[in-house]
Structure 1
Amino acid sequence: MRFSLNGESIEETFTLYGKLVYDRFIQFEYENDDESQVNFGAEIVHINDVGDSFSGKFVGFTSDRSKIVTGKISATKVK
């Protein structure tokens, strides 16, 4: 997974589980594959009407910051 945090590009490997809820939401749970890091959390996203993007919120814990973190998440299908 590649993401940006405070303008810094970060790449890490996660195990991601998800399920479709009510045909327009996805509920994800994730955990860092690197056992030396405690990094896990959950995301709930809403799929747009066209089905080519989603946006939502995440909450998790990261040992890098030693605290619970929250924020926005979004993704768009690459054509």
Structure 2
Amino acid sequence: MTMLNEHPREVVKLVEAGEAIQVLRHGQPVLRMVPEPTPTDPLGSLIAAGLIAEPVRPRRAPRRDRPLMSEHDSDQAIAWLARDGRA
């Protein structure tokens, strides 16, 4: 807490620069200051806070067994569901 009490502006500048700051009182963590997420990096502050972790492998697109598009239009699909008792 000494650094935060004596130099609050410098601590804020560090957080603005992307640093995560952990504040201790008597050697025990009492608060963590992390940067706000930016629109391009909404998960950045959660990663910095240790609440989530970076992925361990690249994300891949889910497999599709069937095409997403149908040859039927939405009216036909709704009529089909209505006949089947689902709509």
Structures share a fold, TM > 0.5? Answer: no
Q: Which has the higher contact order (CA 8 A, sep 6+)?
A: 1
User: TM-score, normalised to structure 1's length?
Assistant: 0.27
Normalised by the length of structure 2, the TM-score is 0.25
Higher strand share: 1
Q: Which has the larger radius of gyration?
A: 2
Q: Greater helix percent: which structure?
A: 2
